[in-house]
Structure 1
């Protein structure tokens, strides 16, 4: 929490998750490098050691707060709660998932991107399009992380995620996860894909992906076991209501090979001596290498 009179963080991030501790380090460490300064992690009943990961990240000065959010199917309410908290700490706050990674091929600073609009008299939301990646031929989770392991995606972008000015949201804090209702007189701007895009690692190896059949956190998104909305973008095309792996799963959703973010991550983050990425190292070894 910022002390009264302290300047706000320029850029914060908020997410809600369930049992995704294994990928949290990569998500936080990578986006911290892009300029995210403060993290609001809403834990929707995880039992996979999420607090331990949050503690490790804090030991590395990543400024992570875990907030227990026990209510099932209440992601929108959680995000409204987060926006209210962020209002007092952050100029901008992004709402995106731990399988979504921003890629900025030109400037590599998410904080600089949004700060261009901090003093705008009209813009209160910045939207970025998403590209959905598939299993990319893999059958086991990639050891170096999703940004390196998954390199084949669907061609057309789908949906978007947003950064908002929390002090310029409508007083209702109404949202549908991807974006908020803004105060009257304020508007959204869309970022060109050549400037920034989100790599959404939506369709991972089957053992990881099938967890989505258990339940969804959003109020308006149908659980996968329910025989409803089978054509929704919140489902994988061609799957029914049973968590049964299709024989060709590892080859699905692969229309374009896209190694842009993989190449950037390996060039920027890999240790020169060991080849390890920061999220592959323990907190003690990471601290030692930092010194």
Structure 2
């Protein structure tokens, strides 16, 4: 996943995130060494299998005294503030005295039927999706005031202390763009090895690393909508200067 970090980091710092934390679950591409000297990017080695729940809980607890809002998301998700150039502004405008959690719906982009993953920008490469509402993921990415949450995270949302509430943002205001399945090879390895190191797929005889399954190819055929709104927004944002690190 190291090849995703630069684009993800450069973009999110420019849209209002002060500090980024990556939980490294046994990566083998030198992630920790490649990004070791950035004051606003923190990489935490997290070697345990099937431990995403525990990683999110650790982040919830460890950011309580360092941050006001913490967003829980994946490295292949880009938050798109449609009503502003800043995710920070979106959160500030939507939050009120009793709102302590804001969820961003996720729009899943197509894998473009690629067998090999491209080394090019993912926001430039993946520009097709299904029709709405089928393009929306089941689960959101969520920003939380961690000091107002019960100290145990539930992956896609936190449990809040009473009387605080959660809201789901309208996609007219902001949403996340999800580049989950970027090519068949990446999808294949995730399935046979497992996303957390445990095999979770019995490979059919008609399928191999060079021969995608029919179901996987069908996903791309259904993604006929060309959507470049976020790509164009990201191009504009990347012309902005990088903010000075605010949290060390």
Q: TM-score range by the shorter chain?
A: 0.7 to 0.9
1:129 deviation in Å? 0.5
SS at match of 1:40: strand
Quote the residue 2:180 is aligned against. 202
Partner in structure 2 of residue 98 of structure 1: 75
1:123 aligns with 2:99: yes
Shift of 1:74: 0.9
Matching of residue 148 in structure 1 with residue 124 in structure 2? yes
Q: CA deviation at 1:245?
A: 1.2
1:138–1:267 Cα change, 3 Å:
farther
Say if 2:202 is the partner of 1:187. Answer: no
Is contact 2:100–2:145 with CA below 8 Å preserved after alignment? Answer: yes
Q: TM-score, normalised by structure 1?
A: 0.71
1:260 match? 229
1:48 equivalent in alignment to 2:29: yes
* 2:83–2:90 Cα contact (<8 Å) kept: no
The 1-side partners of 2:63 and 2:201 are apart by 34
Partner of 1:246: 213
Distance across 2 between alignment mates of 1:162 and 1:253: 28
Residues 163/217 of structure 1: CA separation in 2 closer, same or farther (3 Å cut): farther
CA offset at residue 69 of structure 1?
1.1
Instruction: Trace 1:1-291 onto structure 2 (pairs within 5 A).
Output: 20-55=1-36, 58=38, 61=39, 63-116=40-93, 120-155=96-131, 156=133, 157-158=136-137, 159-170=139-150, 173-213=151-191, 214-217=193-196, 224-225=200-201, 245-246=212-213, 249=217, 251-269=220-238
Distance, in Å, in 1 between the alignment partners of 2:98 and 2:239 is 40
**Structure 2 unaligned runs (5+)?**
243-248
How many angstroms apart in 1 are the aligned matches of 2:28 and 2:116? 22
- 2:245 is aligned to none
Question: How much does 1:34 deviate?
Answer: 0.6
Structure 1 residue ranges without an equivalent (≥5) = 1-19, 228-239, 272-277, 279-291
TM-score (norm: length of structure 2): 0.83
What is the number of residues matched between the two proteins?
A: 231
Q: Distance in 2 between matches of 1:253 and 1:184?
A: 43
The residue number in structure 1 matching 2:246 is none
Q: Deviations over 1:51-108 (max 9, x none)?
A: 123226x1xx5x1111111110011111111111100100000011011111123312
The CA distance in 2 between the partners of 1:245 and 1:31, in whole Å, is 33
- RMSD of equivalent CA atoms: 2.8
Give the 3-state SS of the residue equivalent to 2:53 in structure 1: helix
Distance in structure 2 (CA, Å) of the matches to 1:185 and 1:201: 35
Range that drifts further, 46-55 or 202-211:
202-211
